[in-house]
Structure 1
């Protein structure tokens, strides 16, 4: 016990001070993409043809970050005319808002106020991995570590949907997992929230076009919060939960 206390004293306080202080991410992190106003149609068309996710709308000069896997191909091809910023605060309350040229609405202003009243002091979530690769799941799990300490905000992941206020879904929702997901949703008491985490859950991700998956959680359940990324950075998840519910 003394060695544990000694170790704790030596390490000091490791929890970040977000949202009071913004956390800096690694410089190579790819966050919110921005399409420059002066980009040529030819360059944008080349980017669209090279995009593995078919996420670029040439006519409207927009990127669907709900489909995007943030691979950076368009940034390399366009020589920076499409640029991925370090902004990790990219979650939205509406699926349509993820189709953007760079601007995103402030999530806190679009959060449903009755959710804040209901869950603002305590939010219990059940996570469902619907055929995920474990990347999104890992970056959700890391929120329990001392650096992020999600529990200090009254937000916890629970073992049963019957103890939850909502579900957090990851993965492309395979045909084999669809029934289990719907049963989990039904077992969660009303009122409840549904959170889609990652490109796979929002649009199908790299599996778009496969008959084995559901191309978008919002096609089968009412989604309240969309958190894009492949996978979303832990800070993206933290910002989304705090902005939407606190």
Structure 2
């Protein structure tokens, strides 16, 4: 499968490595150009490309960019073939992204993002810590395999994304249509809490659209204040406590 990844941060870079290692043809691009991607593609089969070329022949395009910059990707995804599946890994953090009135008013984040880029999206890989993505992937069928939620309006597209998620080491739980993706936005019990399939189903059912933004901000304050060590175990454990 041809996979294009827009964004070379912790999540985008690790997805490129894992999907390439799984046998997919992976191109990656960022706003700084191919030369800036040398460290990511070194000793791999990943192709560093100009951002204008990342989607031109892609079966799947993964957007792994800061949430507020999704609108900038519209021109890039417009180059993709008909039938390309688009995946959003981003999350809204107003401290970083600025206040976006529609999202503040309750519009699910990836519904807003889909409107910005003008393409239907599948939401995936947003509810996982980058350290978890790097360290905790396991083979299908492994007991207590960590699961992550996905959401979208196209069942066939979600099946493809679920296969890619499994290739990166994780099970999936279908959280519903894109309008339901608020159930695993930051501050929800399903967000970055390292749960199994059955645990994740419970967490999704316990989500609260009203509580999640306050939980998100409290969690970020605890991290910025130094009360939560910047380790995978500490952050996942704190998320489980503070998101209920």
The question of a shared fold, defined as TM-score above 0.5 by the shorter chain, is answered with no
Larger radius of gyration: 1
Q: Whose helix proportion is higher, 1 or 2?
A: 2
Could you state the TM-score of these two structures normalised by the residue count of structure 2? 0.35
Could you state the TM-score of these two structures normalised by the residue count of structure 1? 0.35
